[in-house]
Structure 1
């Protein structure tokens, strides 16, 4: 991993964007940093670089939203998240770089399709009665997709949207849930060698960007339309996800 102009031209906006999402928009688009970085790095290096930074963002956001979460809802998702992380680790050990690129690309495009379907009313989760064990099931889905590309937001949202949470409680609940899931992931990332001296060293340069992103996100949470933020995310992820799939197949 060469820490040159190209690296920082991709890494700084990716980490800033992830921080804004973590701090102000329920972490739903934070994973966009991983597909973006995977355009210039091996997939393992991209997710390994981002996880410590995401954990820094988690800790920063926890202080802002401390005890404002719905604990019973968060607990179900966190318990379910552990077997999901284990499943993600098992897949990682059997997959090569192109398989991971393909999966990250598919998850990116799937996120866009999911958000557009929700916006147009094709998918509606508000008001649904969750089936018994739903929190554990969607927690497992969140843990799995989070392990592969830090993309646990949509599966968690399917369950969270059935709980009738207000905006701030929803945000705080995602913060505590992914704080726990990221701790689970860190153990497996270390064991599988996903963290390297290079990714950790590069991450040190990006920690200030992570802090700035979170606090900027907290401010934007109160002042900027979520629709505008995610609209930009859809365009960004469609291009990035499509490119990763093309690279993986060719």
Structure 2
């Protein structure tokens, strides 16, 4: 049960705005920071349930500006690959407890930052390569799994999309259409597993204005805000959040 006190709003409002900005203008890679931060003040399952309708709302708000600008083969391959990924994650969800998900979300946070740091320092190079359908399916499978358990499908799919050498806008548009589809895949399993409740839906409703504000900012910031500045803040938030979630899980 979520308590809609000042803790919920002071953490949830900026968290979902940040997620909206990422999904709206910066490729969704760091959007999961919103759910990870919210999981600091509500149970992980409740955080998943609150965030999903909000991300779906952001998807609708951002589809029009990027409509038709995506790389169709990449989007189609990842969407198809996400189907078994979501199914596998739904099975895992029934077999583990909340601390496992805190640990997993925390590890994904720190792993994403480590991956981006390795790229920035030149320790890891992602070479441009021709489109590969099996690679797209694999990226979609991993992305579908991580999207289900922590709304963190962006990092694994980013590896594949970066290898395609897409333009900034094509990259952004491909993530928008892909996760619009993936988020719809998660609705039925979330409902069947009891992740959604009237309490979590009320939480989504209360935070919906902040999601739309974040999406609006993200779309307009796409061409103006330096990616370096945005992601620097993302990485700081992800490190702090990841360490905190892991600490809570193992304590």
Q: Secondary structure at the match of 1:188?
A: helix
Which residue is equivalent to 1:54? 55
1:165 match: 166
> Cα 1:235–1:132, aligned 2, differ >3 Å: closer, same or farther?
same
- Provide, for residues 41-91 of structure 1, a one-character-per-residue CA deviation record: whole Å limited to 9, x for no partner: 100001110000000000111011111111111000000011011111111
User: Which residue of structure 2 lines up, in the alignment, with residue 238 of structure 1?
Assistant: 239
Q: Is the 8 A contact 1:130 1:159 kept in 2?
A: no
Structure 1 residue 20 corresponds to structure 2 residue 51: no
How far apart are residue 186 of structure 1 and its match?
A: 1.2
For the Cα contact (< 8 Å) 1:24–1:220, is it kept in 2? yes
TM-score (norm 1): 0.97
Alignment of 1:37-186 (within 5 A): 37-129=38-130, 133-186=134-187
Name the TM-score, length of structure 2 as normaliser.
0.97
**1:7 maps onto 2:13 in alignment:** no
User: Counterparts of 1:28 and 1:57 in 2: how far apart (Å)?
Assistant: 14
Contact 1:49–1:199, Cα closer than 8 Å, also in 2:
yes
Asked if structure 2 preserves the Cα contact closer than 8 Å seen for 1:31 and 1:151, the reply is: yes
Runs of 4+ in 1 over 4 A off after TM superposition: 129-132
Please state if 1:200 is matched with 2:193.
no
CA distance in 2, matches of 1:15, 1:126: 33
State how many pairs are aligned. Answer: 250
Whether the 8 Å contact between 2:16 and 2:35 is mirrored in structure 1 is no
CA distance in 2, matches of 1:19, 1:174: 13
The answer for unaligned runs of 5 or more in structure 1 is none
Please give the alpha-carbon distance, in whole angstroms, between the structure 1 residues aligned to 2:155 and 2:183: 16
Farther-moved stretch of structure 1 (113-122 vs 77-86): 113-122
What SS does structure 1 have at the residue aligned with 2:222?
A: helix
**What CA RMSD, in Å, does the superposition of the two structures yield over aligned residues?**
1.1
Partner Cα separation in structure 2 for residue 67 and residue 218 of structure 1? 16
Three-state SS of the structure 2 residue aligned to 1:94 is coil
